[in-house]
């Protein structure tokens, strides 16, 4: 054995690949006539051909067409990666999921914004003192924004890690309940997707903290120090 | 020199308008040590805040070194606060998440950082008598120690003016005397000090005492240096 292929979610996941030389050696050494018959593939012959059907074609139609047009072959169709009914249901749910996701996103912006407004309010005295020591309005603005970026980046990373852990743990349940094969995406896809999610989390933080940061940068130092006491 | 020209500062309160400072004029010469006394709510803190550019007057002009500070843009005003003025506030004014050493160095970072070296900051902590607290956080310090660190911080950029608002407000009389000794040492170096206080005993140690009442100033006596 030279390696293990990534699972595909179809029947060949339980199969093995051997060279023809190995097959001939197996034929020579086996004592079973039935095995000899099954394994007896002459040089130049093929025993199976895998056909990858494009999503827009029906695999059943393709199988029927092959069986009627090519004599002496038996067509075996693989298990569905995702049943068409599940796919249809998920496709139908997509707009609602996007709507719910968008709603949660807006709520997240408002909640993070409210949180940062509270933080700015709690730290009025400190922000006023910084201005008294020579901090510019731009510095105060950057300070609040940088904190927002840091916090949302950490929150985003924690969320992704938690999400990945939940999917990992519930992988079997998802497969069983939806009747689909669950495949992990490639490392490259996961990296790009994670960076996208991180950027979205940070972008959410930036949007949410924008107003509190502007308010913080416009505080009058004297009032900020007095009211923060 | 600091000059307040016909300054009025009004606040809205309960549907009415309060004149915290009422048509006040004052000249503070370089190297003076002035104490401002008065009852709570008389406008003392508002007046020193006006001097330091922490609040904008409703009418009138504030001149520091001959420059009307409210003609400056925000960046220039921030630089003025950082380089020319050191503030000592009532109660603790240290940033709680920074060590004492970093608190002292902080104003220097706003002024370009040249004076914010560790050696300079340590030297100031030694001057105010708390070198052993350099790496402690403010919460680990007593009120008097915090006030000393705040004074060291006010001095980091070698400002010509120190504005102190009740710098000994909640301290015992021994610590209060120590802090006043520090101010006298600072004044001896030629630094202008304007100190707001409730205490007439402390005010007596200044060279000039002003009494603030209902937003206006009177000068009952002047001590010769």
The tens digit of pLDDT for each residue in A51-89 reads 878 877 887 888 889 989 988 888 877 655 555 666 677
Closest by Cβ to A132, choosing from B56, B81, B90:
B81
pTM across the whole model? 0.76
Q: Do A134 and B46 touch (CB under 8 A)?
A: no
Q: Nearest CB to A137: which of B46, B74, B153?
A: B74
Interatomic CA distance for residues B127 and B121, integer angstroms = 10
* Among A165, A149, A162, CA closest to A198: A149
Q: Is B79 exposed, middle or buried (0-12, 13-18, 19+ CB in 10 A)?
A: middle
User: CB distance from A132 to chain B under 8 Å?
Assistant: yes
A7-41 burial: b if 16+ Cβ within 10 Å, else e: eebeeeeeeeeeeeeeeeeeeeeeeeeeeeeebee
Structure tokens at B199: 């205490």
Instruction: Answer yes or no: is pLDDT of A114 > 70.
Output: yes
Query: Given an 8 Å threshold on Cβ–Cβ distance, is A133 in contact with B110?
Result: yes
- Write out chain B residues lying below 8 Å of A226, CB-based: 45
Helix, strand, or coil here: A62?
A: helix
Q: Which residues from A are below 8 Å from B91, CB to CB?
A: 229
- Tens digit of pLDDT for each residue in A176-210? 777 666 777 888 999 999 999 999 999 999 999 99
Q: Which of A128, A136, A226 is opposite residue B78, by nearest beta carbon? A: A136
Give the neighbor-by-neighbor strand order of the sheet with B2-13: B16-28, B2-13, B59-64, B67-68
For residues A215 and A147, the answer to whether their CB atoms sit within 8 Å is no
Cβ atoms B168, B147 nearer than 8 A: yes
Span B149-185, pLDDT tens digits: 999 999 999 999 999 998 887 778 888 888 888 899 9
* A159 phi, psi to nearest 5 deg: -60, -45
Q: Do B87 and A137 touch (CB under 8 A)?
A: no
Q: Which of B78, B91, B154 to mutate to test the interface with A (most CBs of A within 10 A)?
A: B78
Q: Which residue of B has its CA nearest to A138?
A: B75
Residue given tokens 């709690």 in the structure block: A122
Instruction: Place B112 in a pLDDT band, splitting at 50, 70 and 90.
Output: confident
Q: Give chain B's contact residues with A (Cβ, < 8 Å).
A: 45-46, 49, 52, 54-56, 74-75, 78-79, 81-83, 87, 89-91, 93, 95-96, 106-107, 110-111, 153, 157
Q: What is the pLDDT of residue A57?
A: 83
Contact A81, A9 (CB under 8 A): yes
- Substitution target in B47, B50, B54, B149 with the highest count of A β-carbons within 10 Å is B54
Question: Phi/psi at B208 (nearest 5 deg)?
Answer: -145, 135
Beta bridge partners of A102: none
Which 3 state secondary structure label does DSSP give B187? helix
Which residues of A fall within a CB distance of 8 Å from B81?
131-134
- Length of chain B as a residue count: 225
Which of A123, A126, A131, A134 should be substituted to probe chain B, the one whose Cβ sees the most B Cβ atoms within 10 Å? A134
- Cα angle A125, A130, A133 (rounded to 5 degrees) comes to 125
SS3 of B85-120: EEEECCCCCCCCCCCHHHHHHHHHHHCCCCCCCHHH
Residue-level pLDDT at B171: 78
CA-nearest residue of chain B to A218? B74
Taking the alpha carbons of B85, B2, B74, B50 in that order, is the dihedral positive or negative? positive
Residue B225: predicted pLDDT: 46
Which of B219, B92, B102 has its CA nearest to residue B165?
B92
Q: How far is B187 from chain A (nearest CA, A)?
A: 20
Instruction: Report the pLDDT value the prediction gives residue A149, as an integer from 0 to 100.
Output: 95
User: How far, CA to CA in Å, does A171 sit from each of A83, A180, A192, A216?
Assistant: 17, 10, 21, 46
Find the closest chain A residue to B52 by CA distance: A132
Does A7 have pLDDT greater than 70? no
Please provide the DSSP assignment of A136-149 as one string.
-HHHHHHHHHHHHH
Q: How far is B74 from chain A (nearest CA, A)?
A: 7
């Amino acid at each position: 054995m030279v390696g293990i292929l990534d699972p595909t979610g179809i029947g060949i996941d339980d199969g093995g690949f051997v060279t023809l030389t190995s097959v001939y050696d197996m034929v020579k050494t086996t004592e079973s006539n039935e095995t000899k018959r099954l394994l007896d593939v002459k040089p130049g012959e093929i025993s199976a051909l895998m056909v990858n059907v494009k999503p827009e074609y029906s695999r059943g139609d393709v199988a029927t067409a092959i069986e009627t047009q090519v004599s002496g072959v038996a067509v075996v169709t693989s298990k569905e990666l995702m049943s068409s009914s599940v796919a249809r249901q998920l496709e139908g749910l997509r707009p609602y999921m996007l709507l719910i996701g968008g709603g949660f996103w807006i709520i997240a912006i408002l909640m993070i914004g409210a949180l940062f407004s509270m933080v700015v309010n709690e730290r009025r005295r400190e922000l006023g003192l910084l201005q008294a020591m020579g901090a510019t309005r731009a510095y105060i603005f950057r300070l609040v924004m940088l904190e927002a970026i840091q916090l949302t980046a950490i929150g985003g990373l924690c969320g992704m890690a938690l999400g990945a852990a939940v999917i990992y743990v519930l992988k079997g349940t998802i497969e069983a309940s939806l009747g689909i094969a669950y495949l992990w995406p490639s490392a490259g896809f996961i990296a790009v997707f994670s960076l996208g999610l991180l950027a979205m989390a940070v972008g959410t933080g930036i949007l949410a903290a924008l107003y509190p940061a502007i308010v913080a940068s416009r505080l009058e130092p004297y009032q900020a120090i007095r009211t923060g006491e | 020199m600091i000059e307040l020209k016909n300054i009025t500062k009004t606040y809205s309160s309960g549907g009415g308008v309060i004149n915290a400072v009422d048509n006040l004029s004052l000249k503070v010469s370089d190297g003076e040590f002035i104490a401002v006394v008065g009852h709570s709510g008389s406008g003392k803190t508002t007046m020193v805040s006006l001097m330091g550019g922490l609040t904008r007057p409703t009418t009138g002009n504030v001149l520091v070194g001959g420059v009307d500070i409210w003609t400056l843009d925000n960046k220039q005003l921030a630089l003025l606060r950082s380089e020319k003025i050191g503030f000592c506030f009532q109660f603790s004014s240290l940033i709680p998440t920074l060590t004492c050493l970093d608190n002292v160095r902080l104003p220097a970072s706003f002024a370009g950082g040249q004076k914010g070296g560790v050696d300079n900051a340590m030297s100031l902590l030694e001057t105010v008598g708390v070198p052993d607290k350099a790496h402690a956080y403010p919460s680990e310090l007593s009120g008097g120690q915090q006030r000393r660190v705040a004074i060291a911080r006010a001095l980091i950029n070698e400002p010509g003016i120190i504005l102190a608002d009740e710098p000994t407000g909640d301290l015992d009389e021994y610590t209060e005397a120590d802090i006043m000794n520090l101010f006298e040492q600072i004044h001896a170096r030629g630094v202008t000090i304007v100190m707001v206080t409730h205490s007439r005993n402390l005010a007596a140690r200044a060279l000039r005492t002003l009494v603030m009442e209902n937003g206006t100033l009177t000068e009952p006596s002047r001590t010769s240096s």
